[in-house]
Amino acid sequence: MSATTINQTKKLPRRTKVTNTANSTPADFTPRIVVIEGPSGAGKDTIVKELINRYPDRFAKLVSVATRAMRPYESEGNPYHFVDNATFDQMVASGDIFEFTVRHGEKRGMSEKYITDLFAQHKIPLKDCDLVGVRALKSRFNHVTTIFITADKAEIARRLHGRGDDPADITRRLADYDRCVLDAPYYDHVINNENLQKTIDKILAIIYNDNYGKQ
């Protein structure tokens, strides 16, 4: 399976103010992005939903732009911002889409506009992102914290069964687990998601007390 990845670099102005807690006022807000990555079944979606449920004014999911056809049960923004091929290409040409992949002719990428829209609402975009995407984000934005969520492989197998995944899908996802965890050391933080509430607390501590990770 071939994938082409394109990065463009342009740093946004640096801001130095640090926000201390998720309850801080918008005046304290510093634009930042938090990447939540990890193997399938580790709990990424659950964590992102929990952060948004707890702090709907502070966190939002960053949605990618995609050219694939919308399925009947999908809608604009869920799970992608759906655009046609010409619009996608125009967004790349204008520099708005700064990282994208092409797979089987379908394009998917990250748009700066959707990130800055969330910043304007004083929200922290949450995004799952491989290392190529992380590099693109860190080239483009000053405050990017990357967190790798993991769990024991046997526990992941239990969770995928519990989630009701198709058995063939589970086999494929478990095979991918070994490759995926090799990336863990390249993220700023690694959290073993044994207990959801503890994981959420650790993430909040990282975001608000750790000066945006190790960058």
**SS3 label, residue 190:** strand
Q: Report the residue number, 31 or 41, with the smaller CB distance to ligand ADP.
A: 41
Interaction site with ligand ADP (CB under 6 A)? 38, 40-46, 159, 162-163, 193, 195-196
What single-letter amino acid sits at 144? Answer: V
Alpha helix ranges (H) inside 17-152: 44-54, 85-93, 112-120, 131-140
Place of tokens 């091929």: 85
Q: Report the residue number, 38 or 125, with the smaller CB distance to ligand ADP.
A: 38
Q: Min. distance of Cβ 38 from ligand ADP in angstroms?
A: 6
Residue nearest to ligand ADP (CB): 43
Q: Report the residue number, 163 or 172, with the smaller CB distance to ligand ADP.
A: 163
> What whole-number distance in Å separates Cα of residue 59 and Cα of residue 34?
9
Q: Report the residue number, 195 or 215, with the smaller CB distance to ligand ADP.
A: 195
> What whole-number distance in Å separates Cα of residue 124 and Cα of residue 185?
23
Q: Min. distance of Cβ 164 from ligand ADP in angstroms?
A: 8
Q: Min. distance of Cβ 168 from ligand ADP in angstroms?
A: 16
CA dist list (Å): 186 to 58, 130, 132, 134, 182: 26, 10, 11, 10, 9
Q: Min. distance of Cβ 35 from ligand ADP in angstroms?
A: 13
